[in-house]
Each structure stands twice: as structure tokens, then as C-alpha cells.
Amino acid sequence: MDLKTRAIVGVGGGLLTGLMRTTRVEVRGPENWDDWGGARKPAIYVLWHGRLLPCSYFRRDHELATLISQHRDGDYIAGVVEGWWGFRAIRGSSSRGGSGALREMVRTLKAGTALAITPDGPRGPRQKMKAGPVIAAQLTGVPVIPVSAGADRAWWLGGWDRFLIPKPFSRFQMLFDDPIFVPRDSNPEQIEATTLRIEQRLNEITAEVDRPWS
């Protein structure tokens, strides 16, 4: 990591951590976290790229690994989640380093470490699922658990992913959906169907946490 990246990660990580400390969270579906992440059992948590900030911060320091792109902006994200929030970054994506990243994902899961993945990253299209997490689940037998977060007050950045940043002292919900298992003997058509099913559930729970709430 060069000096410029270190400086951006240092300042940015401190600002984001300070911001998130002012927020309050309500967890929905906590049993779907407790049975897996809370029990330190391997699972694949999938969340849309635009919800990365709240989901990562509130599952910091839980010995999770995460797949982060090899693009330049991935350097900043990796620096924050590794240096500030205790994740282990696996570098790669479907477009750069994809096959190596999949092998490392499988090794990580088989070693007993859970993964958090944004399956529409690093460049979209927004809220469209790629098959990598489903294939990793098929090869390892671990479940895929859709996750999303929505805030009552937030900024929305104008990039491809509509990145959500909770405003200071806001409240937000994190929703852990039911685990989805991928049979080991799934054929390509079944993998595609499961990928679309998970995409649909992610979009449904994202719409749910975005509804007005009191």
C-alpha cells in the first residue's frame, strides 16, 4: 500500500468509524446470524455493494473474510475493513482474478472462516447477482445467507451502486435472511436458478429495510 493510499485509509477509516459509532442498529433475523456467524461456523453472507458500509461495520471483529476487487477503489475498501474493522480481504472479482479468488474462497470456507461478499461488485450492474458465491457454496456445503441494511436517514452517493451512508445519529436495520443451501450435485441450470433466487431475496429484503419505519 503506497503512502497516498495509507493516508486516505487512515483518514477515511477514522471518519467512517466515528460516524458509525453515533448510529443505532436493530437486527432482524438474529437467529440466522447467531446459528452461523455467532457460532463461528462458515457461511457465505451476500449483500449488495451499496449496503457495504453499515453491514461491514456492524459485523466487524467477527473473524470474517471478504472478497474485494483488485481495482484501485478496492485498495481503499480493503484498507478500511482490514485495518479498522478486523476483516481479512481476499482480492479478486469476476472480472479480475476471478478463478484465483474462487479457489481462495473455497479454501477459506473449508478452513472454517465465514465470508462476506458483494455479488454485484465491483462495477455492477447494481443489484444483479453473480454466480461465484453459489458455486463456492456448492463446493463447500456451507449456506448462503442474504443480508441487507437500510437507514431511517442517509446520504446516497451517485455512483453505480447508490452507496448508502447513514447520517450521524441515525437508526438502521440489519436483516439476516434464512440460509440457502446449494446441493453438491447441482447442474449449471440449477446453479443459475439458485443465483436468481438469491438475487430476488436480496432485492426483497433490501426493499423491506428501505420501507419507512418508526
99 pLDDT band, cuts 50/70/90, is confident
User: Do the beta carbons of residue 145 and residue 44 sit within 8 Å?
Assistant: yes
- Residue of 92, 82, 97, 86 lying closest to 117 (CA atoms): 92
75 pLDDT band, cuts 50/70/90, is confident
Rounded Cα distance between 32 and 147, Å, is 10
Q: Is the pLDDT of residue 204 over 80?
A: yes
What value, to the nearest 5°, has the Cα angle with vertex 87 and ends 79 and 44?
Answer: 130
DSSP 154-193: EEE-SSTT--EEEPTT-EEEEEE---B---TT--HHHHHH
Overall number of domains in the chain = 1
Q: What is the domain range of residue 92?
A: 3-210
More confident residue, 50 or 97: 50
CATH number for position 179: 3.40.1130.10
Rounded to whole angstroms, what are the CA distances from 173 to 10, 29, 54, 127? Answer: 27, 10, 9, 19
Alpha helices in the chain (DSSP H): 3-21, 30-34, 52-57, 72-83, 98-110, 132-140, 188-210
Best mean pLDDT range from 77-81, 87-91, 184-188 = 184-188
pTM of the model: 0.92
Per-residue pLDDT tens digits for 4-48: 888 888 999 999 999 999 999 999 999 999 999 887 899 999 999
Average pLDDT over residues 55-73: 86
Per-residue pLDDT tens digits for 107-129: 999 999 999 999 997 888 999 99
Q: Which contacts qualify for 7-10: CB closer than 8 Å, 24 or more apart?
A: 8/76, 8/79, 9/76, 9/79, 9/80, 9/83
C-alpha cell at 129: 447477482
